[in-house]
Amino acid sequence: MKLPFALNPALEHLPVYQPGRPVEEVARELGLPARDVIKLASNENPLGPSPVALAALKKALRNLHQYPDGNAFYLKQKLAAKLQVTLGNLVLGNGSNDIIEFLGHALLGPGDEMIVSQYCFAIYPIVARLLGARVIVVLAKNYGHDLPAMLKAVTVNTKLVFVANPNNPTGTLAPAAEVRRMVDELPENVVLAMDEAYFEFLENPVDLLPLIRAGKKPNLILLRTFSKIYGLAGLRLGYGIAHTEFIAALEKIRQPFNINSLAQSAALAALDDTAHVKKTRQNNFKGRKFLENALEDMDIEFVPSSANFILAKVGVGREVFEKLQRQGIITRPMGGYQLPEWVRISVGTPAENQRCVKALRQILVGSKKRGHQAVKA
């Protein structure tokens, strides 16, 4: 039946974001116990949430009949102290996706342009196109951002530039000098959104916070999240750090009570659990190295990663994804990112990493025996 009313015409060709498949859905489909299915698809923390955060969640359950603090005062206060910024420098979102939408509503409309890199996070262009803006895609360099080329792509119509560093889905890290040049040379009437969802996994990250503390770059906003290193993806909590006047504008777009009380309580506690963060970082470093060594041993090309996942060129990505899934291992096929030969594998626990490598080795050896050539690095 055709709808009797008109829809936003931008919806006609707008793709639907496809997240990693949930464990429960795959278990039902395969007839497996959920405990036998592992998920290495969505770059989640394999160690789970901080035990301190879980304890805070249990305590917060008794107050679910009350609305949350609409301004998340205590969480903002603790975040501000940790980052050495003011409360006015922070805006909270229902995941980083929320902040991305804030930026779209604040800056983009028909005739405006937004610049992204090839292989960028899928949500950036979806938001821009929904608002009628034009998306300028700059070709990637070694699967990562070509920041000098992105600077050259700026026109009088450019309103927003997105740079994810490290980048999702490729895991690439932009050179520090190029990041600083981008920040310094981007016209002040163009906003630079640095998506730093994987910032805490870096050993020596480029620190742009001093520019925001000093109020020197009102066109710069940093996006961070509690979903990755803090292991709170299920509670959906991200935040933006920017000039106070810019944040004040974004607050006008933010919906009331967008951060629920459970997310606020868990995040407050998680910020204090530095031991859990350290343990997560160590697990990620060792696990990523294990996966890299295994892929090299199997002669599989991969993109060197600075995040908590690895992009691997396995042949027909969708086919390998489905074979792994039949063994209860969920990865992420990359056809939707114009990388049909690749799958993205999140770093798991040591046991999960070993299980994934064993299954991948069996699948690729089986392909060779049937006459299919494995991809070489």
Bridge partners (DSSP) of residue 312 are 302, 343
Q: What is the pLDDT of residue 10?
A: 87
Residue 374 has pLDDT above 50, yes or no: no
Q: What is the pLDDT of residue 365?
A: 76
What does 14-31 look like in DSSP terms, one character per residue? PPPP-PPPPHHHHHHHHT
- Mean pLDDT computed over 296-314: 97
Q: What is the pLDDT of residue 20?
A: 87
For residue 345, give the nearest of 317, 377, 315 by alpha carbon: 317
For residue 165, give the nearest of 12, 307, 21, 16 by alpha carbon: 307
Q: Quote the tokens at residue 363.
A: 């699948």
- Phi and psi at 171, nearest 5°, equal 80, 5
- Phi and psi at 221, nearest 5°, equal -135, 135
Estimate to the nearest angstrom the gap between the alpha carbon of 272 and the chain centroid: 23
94, amino acid identity: N
Residue 232 has pLDDT above 70, yes or no: yes
Res. 258 pLDDT band, cuts 50 70 90: very high
The fraction of the chain above a pLDDT of 70, given in percent, is: 97
CA distance 201 to 284: 8
Q: How many residues does the chain have?
A: 377
CA distance 66 to 27: 35
